[in-house]
């Protein structure tokens, strides 16, 4: 089998796993809907977010991802903005599959976001770059 055939099968399997994970995430979010008026992030979470933003700006992508994931680990449904930021980090390192995955999580948690149209348009752009 050619490398292309192996890569295509791997891509399909990875995409299926992410779609399954996204479906599970969506069902969890339905039982605990995000309410922008009720968002409570701790001062430590705020600190991590500010640090993650700076690390991303300085192109320290893995360190930035660590900061955002530290916030998400404590409450995966309370920080849609973390998924939004993570999506752009993955896009910056050209991992468009994970960029799309995280932007979809953002939109699941915050479908009425003021930038929801722009977020969905980014997904469309990244889909072209990914395939």
pLDDT tens per residue, range 109-118: 999 999 999 9
Rounded distance, CA 79 to CA 96, Å?
21
Domain for residue 15, yes or no? no
**Structural domain count, the chain:** 1
- 13 confidence band (pLDDT: 50, 70, 90): very low
Would 51 be classed as within a structural domain?
Answer: yes
Q: Is residue 11, in this structure, part of any structural domain at all? A: no
Q: Is residue 16 part of a domain?
A: no
* Mean pLDDT rounded to a whole number for the chain: 84
Q: Provide the phi-psi class of 124: left if phi over 0, else alpha when psi is between -120 and 50, else beta.
A: alpha
The first and second tokens of residue 42, run together, are 């701790």
* Mean pLDDT of all residues in 13-33: 74
Residue 10 has pLDDT above 80, yes or no: no
Residue 82 inside a domain? The answer is: yes
Tell me if the pTM is above 0.85: no
Residue numbers of the domain that contains 61: 39-130
* 62-98 pLDDT tens trace: 999 999 999 999 888 888 999 999 999 999 999 999 9
Q: Is residue 27 part of a domain?
A: no
Please determine, for residue 6, whether its predicted confidence score (pLDDT) is greater than 50. no
CA–CA distance, 99 with 91 (Å, rounded to integer): 5
Q: Rounded to an integer, what distance in angstroms lies between the CA atom of residue 40 and that of residue 23?
A: 25
Residue % of the chain over a pLDDT of 70: 82
Domain CATH number, residue 71: 1.25.40.10
- Say if residue 3's pLDDT is above 60: no
């Amino acid at each position: 089998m050619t490398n292309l055939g192996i890569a295509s099968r791997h891509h399909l399997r990875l995409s299926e796993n992410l779609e399954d994970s996204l479906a599970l995430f969506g069902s969890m979010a339905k039982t605990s809907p995000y309410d922008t008026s009720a968002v409570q992030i701790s001062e430590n979470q705020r600190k991590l977010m500010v640090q993650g933003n700076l690390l991303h700006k300085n192109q320290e992508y893995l360190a930035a991802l660590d900061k955002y994931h530290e916030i998400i680990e404590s409450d995966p449904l309370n920080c849609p903005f973390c998924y939004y930021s993570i999506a752009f980090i993955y896009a910056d390192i050209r991992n468009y599959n994970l960029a799309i995955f995280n932007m979809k999580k953002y939109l699941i948690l915050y479908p009425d976001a003021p930038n929801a149209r722009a977020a969905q348009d980014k997904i469309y752009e990244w889909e072209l770059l990914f395939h």
